[in-house]
Amino acid sequence: MSTLAPQKTDLGWVIEVPTEIARSLEVPEGSLTVLSVRDGRLDVEILPTPTPELLQPVRETCEEFKDAFDEMKRLGD
């Protein structure tokens, strides 16, 4: 069993949907989900898969600011 480390955000925790669950739910493998706590319960929302039109500018921005992002990772929170 592999474990996926959740990423904490202002909305909750973001994790990749495990492959077996994605297949069971008939969502694309690699889909992301947001886990949040509401009224003492765990709420799960599967995010829509980004379109190629959205991914391209994100990749370009990541490449453009790669050095800055690497430095932020090095420095930590």
**Contact in structure between 37 and 12 (CB atoms under 8 Å):** yes
Query: Does any domain span residue 29?
Result: yes
Q: How many CB atoms neighbour CB 33 within 10 A? A: 20
* Prediction pTM value: 0.60
**pLDDT string in tens for the chain (77-residue length):** 455 688 898 889 999 999 999 999 999 988 999 999 999 999 999 998 888 898 899 999 999 999 999 999 999 85
Query: Does any domain span residue 25?
Result: yes
Ranges of beta strands (E only) in the chain are: 7-8, 13-16, 32-38, 41-46
Query: Does any domain span residue 2?
Result: no
Query: Does any domain span residue 1?
Result: no
Chain Cα centroid distance, residue 51: 15
**Helix or strand (DSSP H, E) at 66:** helix 66-75
Query: Does any domain span residue 55?
Result: yes
